[in-house]
């Protein structure tokens, strides 16, 4: 029997004083605020009565650090799942803005096809690997809820896909706050979104650097 619910939890605020796109770059840890945000996500899962029986996390350190409070609160060790990783981005380590793109014609080639964004991984490719990770996580337990700690874009495109919405979108309008919880169920073999919570909304944070 698959999991009752699947909670996709985004990592907390990252220490990123340079304001760069960190993508898959190593050593981008949570800030002090990010650690507090991760604790709020864990407490929210407990408060909503989630019976967490398995935790999976992206291999990136910011996601693994965000999983720690959940591991501690529910007494479960997280397992690393490669398919939960942030999409690759050719602009990793750079500051990216409309002005920067406009003044660097050599970058324009990366924006030639909105369906295959700058990082080179299409939305459909992201959805395919995320769907695989979700189903495997769900099938790994006999009952209860599973938690997958991952990143903004993978969570958001899964939401768009589950709700039958267009995958192309304005990144500034994603409903996927730091340490937010987007909840799904598998109903009649289909992934259905059933909830969204922003438990760390009261903490002042900087959400800059996501792909």
pLDDT in tens, 105-132: 555 455 556 555 555 688 899 999 999 9
Q: Diameter of the chain by CA atoms?
A: 55
Residue 150 has pLDDT above 90, yes or no: yes
Distance between CA atoms of residues 110 and 128, nearest Å? 22
pLDDT tens string 58-109 = 999 999 999 999 999 999 999 999 999 999 877 766 666 545 554 555 554 5
Residue 123 lies in a domain: yes
Our count of domains for the chain comes to 1
Structure token digits, residue 91: 């602009």
Q: What is the pLDDT of residue 121?
A: 81
| Residue appearing with tokens 């990136």 | 60
In total, the chain counts a number of residues equal to 211
Report residue 44 as tokens. 């929210």
| Tens of pLDDT, residues 158-209 | 999 999 999 988 888 999 999 999 999 999 999 999 999 999 999 988 888 7
Residue 134 lies in a domain: yes
131 in a structural domain = yes
Is residue 28, in this structure, part of any structural domain at all? yes
pLDDT value, residue 206? 86
Give the integer Cα–Cα distance in Å for 199 and 178.
9
In a domain? residue 109: yes
Query: Residue 153: inside a domain, yes or no?
Result: yes
pLDDT band with cut points at 50, 70 and 90 for residue 1:
low
- The residue among 42 and 122 whose pLDDT is bigger is 42
pLDDT at 109: 53
pLDDT of residue 104: 56
Q: Tell how far CA 117 is from the center of its chain.
A: 17
**Domain CATH code at residue 42:** 3.40.50.1240
Q: Which residue range(s) make up the domain with 144?
A: 5-197
- Four-point Cα dihedral 193, 22, 80, 50, nearest 10: -40
How much is the pLDDT for 203? 95
Residues forming beta bridges with residue 6, ordered by sequence position: 146, 184
Helix ranges (H only) for 11-122 are: 32-47, 61-74, 98-102
- Which residue in 137, 153, 177 sits closest to 57, CA to CA? 137
Query: Are 74 and 55 a contacting pair, CB within 8 Å?
Result: yes
Whether 205 is covered by a domain: the verdict is: no
- Asked if residue 116 belongs to a domain, the reply is yes
């Amino acid at each position: 029997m698959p999991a009752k619910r699947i909670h996709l939890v985004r990592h907390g605020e990252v220490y990123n004083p340079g304001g760069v796109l960190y993508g898959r770059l190593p050593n981008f840890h949570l800030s002090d605020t990010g650690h507090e945000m991760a604790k709020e996500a864990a407490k929210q899962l407990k408060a909503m009565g989630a019976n967490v029986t398995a935790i999976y996390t992206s291999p990136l350190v910011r996601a693994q650090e965000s999983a720690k409070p959940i591991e501690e609160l529910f007494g479960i060790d997280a397992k690393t799942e490669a398919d939960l990783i942030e999409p690759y981005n050719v602009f990793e380590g750079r500051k990216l803005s409309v002005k920067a793109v406009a003044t660097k014609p050599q970058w324009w080639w990366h924006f030639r096809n909105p369906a295959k964004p700058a990082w080179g991984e299409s939305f459909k490719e992201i959805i395919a690997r995320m769907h695989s990770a979700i189903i495997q996580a769900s099938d790994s337990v006999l009952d209860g809820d599973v938690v997958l700690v991952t990143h903004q874009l993978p969570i958001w495109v899964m939401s768009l896909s589950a709700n039958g919405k267009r995958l192309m979108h304005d990144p500034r309008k994603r409903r996927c706050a730091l340490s937010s919880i987007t909840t799904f169920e598998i109903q009649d073999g289909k992934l259905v979104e059933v909830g969204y919570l922003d438990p760390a909304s009261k903490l002042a944070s900087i959400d800059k650097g996501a792909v």
